[in-house]
Amino acid sequence: MKEIGHWINGKHVKGNSGRFADVFNPATGEVQARVALASKAELDAATADAAKAQVKWGATNPQRRARVMMKFVDLLNRDMDKLAEALSSEHGKTIPDAKGDIQRGLEVIEFCIAAPHLLKGEFTDSAGPGIDMYSMRQPIGVAAGITPFNFPAMIPLWKMGPALACGNAFILKPSERDPSVPMMLAELMKEAGLPDGVLQVINGDKESVDAIIDNPDIAGIGFVGSTPIAEYIYGRGCSNGKRVQCFGGAKNHMIIMPDADLDQAADALVGAGYGAAGERCMAISVAVPVGDETADRLIEKLIPRIEKLKVGPYTGGNDVDYGPVVTAAAKANILKLVESGVAQGAKLVVDGRNFNLQGYEDGFFVGPHLFDHVTTDMDIYRKEIFGPVLSTVRAKTYEEALGYAMDHEYGNGTAIFTRDGDTARDFANRINVGMIGINVPIPVPLAYHTFGGWKKSAFGDLNQHGPDSFRFYTRTKTITSRWPSGIKEGASLNFKQMD
């Protein structure tokens, strides 16, 4: 059995806690590896080494740090196929989707190559007589990232890239469900020239997360995962005096106006609802057609498209649309929610409950489901399902549709499909959600913009990647300086104002 340990001080190290988690091949249901779960002592020792290594790395000029990122981009491109294969085998997503996962992370590393520019401070010449004032951005020291299973390349890269480019050391605690790719990323960082100890990958579960939150050497934490854990880490991390940003769950609504191109909208819903088996925080899980006629026509267009979807293993060739979900527990939870939808009165117009894939009976495959006539009190509406289940909530008017998205506790992403510019502008202005698509179903911002939701989808005040990430991973120091120039005013006991 393959055993995955930790990456500490530039090499693979076996875990010594005696605790392990199974890593599955979700397509077959087989355990393909076991991953060590670090103890607090292991996390603390790796952090102490990282703090030592950070001193020299933080003092390395930003251009040299950027060159490591440059080389790292080359290596990610070189190993794209290998990384995608490892990613798909533990996560279950298709190879093209795994490459997208890596690519969207790689683009943030490309952004980080601009570190020398992004880290430039501000300068005011002659803020007062003979006085200059300037500010600089310095690394926070050791930062940590705690990441989810659903993007095992992208999200670790979103975290480690900016943190390292800013001159921090970084402790990555990846998801224990698919830990291989994060370990491969660490190997590539070393090959790119990152000094040993600056990036530590510590595998683990709640014990290592709690150790991160309580470790006084860790100055900042970036988390991505489910909302209950996001809230927990945010609360406890902040009370320990750390800067913390936590990104949580989602229930993304897509409004379809009567004037929308319904073929385009139906294609968009199928891609955004069922891609990656619905295991994306930016998946569309609620369709809100405006008017019964729009709803009837949309459902009519959706059904054949959904029934045509090919569900299969990542090894199944290019025509596989989506793969299995990540664990048997995730599958059971999705199917339980589907049953609750039926019991609570929603109409299941595409029923994937009896889906079975010959030869892969033990895999964690879930057939596609489409609900119509969903209401806001149902569990399938209130909860994040994180599976291939799309709910349709019918609205009579645009205002009613907008209200559904506004009133939901999550606010990660949302979209509107319309041909009317006024409606689209009004939607973008009024909606209380962080990322908006106008005729774009999954509006994930590119690397040089920032990514983050509102409401219960994010805790903290800065977003991920883009310029916000350089703010999050640095702290500002402002210097007021005057050089002896012969000005002698005598002592002043007043709070000084600049003349």
Based on CB atoms, which residue is closest to ligand NAD, 148 or 367? 148
- According to the binding rule CB under 6 A, does residue 226 interact with ligand NAD? yes
DSSP code of residue 278: G
The label of the residue with tokens 């085998």 reads 89
Quickly count: other Cβ atoms within 10 Å of residue 383's Cβ.
15
Which residues from 38-77 bind ligand NAD, rule CB under 6 A? none
CA proximity to 350, closest of 385, 303, 287? 303
Based on CB atoms, which residue is closest to ligand NAD, 52 or 383? 383
Given the residues 112, 166, 246, 281, the one annotated as active site: 281
CA 233/CA 209 separation, integer angstroms: 8
For residue 478, which phi and psi values (nearest 5 degrees)? -120, 130
- According to the binding rule CB under 6 A, does residue 248 interact with ligand NAD? yes
Rounded CA Rg of the chain: 25
- According to the binding rule CB under 6 A, does residue 412 interact with ligand NAD? yes
Based on CB atoms, which residue is closest to ligand NAD, 412 or 474? 412
Which residue among 92, 237, 249, 443 contacts ligand NAD (CB under 6 A)?
Answer: 249
Which residue among 7, 20, 57, 247 contacts ligand NAD (CB under 6 A)?
Answer: 247
- According to the binding rule CB under 6 A, does residue 245 interact with ligand NAD? no
Q: 404 is written with which tokens? A: 């559904």
Rounded least distance, CB 228 to ligand NAD, Å:
7
Which residue among 201, 229, 302, 380 contacts ligand NAD (CB under 6 A)?
Answer: 229
CB 126 within 8 A of CB 133: no
Here's the x/- map for ligand NAD, 347-376, by CB under 6 A: it reads as ------------------------------
| Beta strands 218-224 and 199-201, pairing class | unpaired
Alpha-carbon distances of 415 from 215, 279, 423, 430, 449, rounded to whole Å: 40, 18, 12, 13, 18
- According to the binding rule CB under 6 A, does residue 225 interact with ligand NAD? yes
**Dihedral over Cα of 262, 267, 270, 271: its sign:** negative
Q: Which stretch binds ligand NAD (CB under 6 A): 58-66, 172-180, 332-340, 474-482?
A: 172-180
Which residue among 37, 68, 224, 350 contacts ligand NAD (CB under 6 A)?
Answer: 224
Q: Is 281 a catalytic residue?
A: yes
Q: Which stretch binds ligand NAD (CB under 6 A): 56-64, 188-196, 244-252, 341-349?
A: 244-252
Which residues from 185-214 bind ligand NAD, rule CB under 6 A? 205-206, 209
Length of the chain: 499
- According to the binding rule CB under 6 A, does residue 276 interact with ligand NAD? no
Task: Please give the size of the binding site for ligand NAD, defined by CB under 6 A.
Answer: 26
| 293, HSE (Cβ side, Cα atoms, 13 Å) | 4
CA 163/CA 218 separation, integer angstroms: 12
Rounded least distance, CB 461 to ligand NAD, Å:
15
- According to the binding rule CB under 6 A, does residue 384 interact with ligand NAD? yes
Here's the x/- map for ligand NAD, 129-168, by CB under 6 A: it reads as -----------------xxxxxx-----------------
CA 450/CA 181 separation, integer angstroms: 24
Based on CB atoms, which residue is closest to ligand NAD, 57 or 247? 247
Rounded least distance, CB 48 to ligand NAD, Å:
22
Rounded least distance, CB 258 to ligand NAD, Å:
30
Q: Which stretch binds ligand NAD (CB under 6 A): 66-74, 86-94, 170-178, 467-475?
A: 170-178
- According to the binding rule CB under 6 A, does residue 453 interact with ligand NAD? yes
- According to the binding rule CB under 6 A, does residue 474 interact with ligand NAD? no
DSSP track, 117-169: HHT--EEEEEEETTEEEEEEEEE-SEEEEE--SS-TTHHHHHHHHHHHHTT-E
CB 418 within 8 A of CB 463: no
- According to the binding rule CB under 6 A, does residue 175 interact with ligand NAD? yes
Three-class HEC string of 379-439: HHHHCCCCCCEEEECCECCHHHHHHHHHHCCEECEEEEECCCHHHHHHHHHHCCCCEEEEC
* DSSP H or E segment with residue 116: helix 115-118
For residue 271, which phi and psi values (nearest 5 degrees)? -65, -45
- According to the binding rule CB under 6 A, does residue 466 interact with ligand NAD? no
User: Catalytic residue numbers?
Assistant: 281
| Binding stretches for ligand NAD (CB under 6 A) | 146-151, 173, 175-176, 205-206, 209, 224-226, 229, 247-250, 281, 384, 386, 412, 453, 457
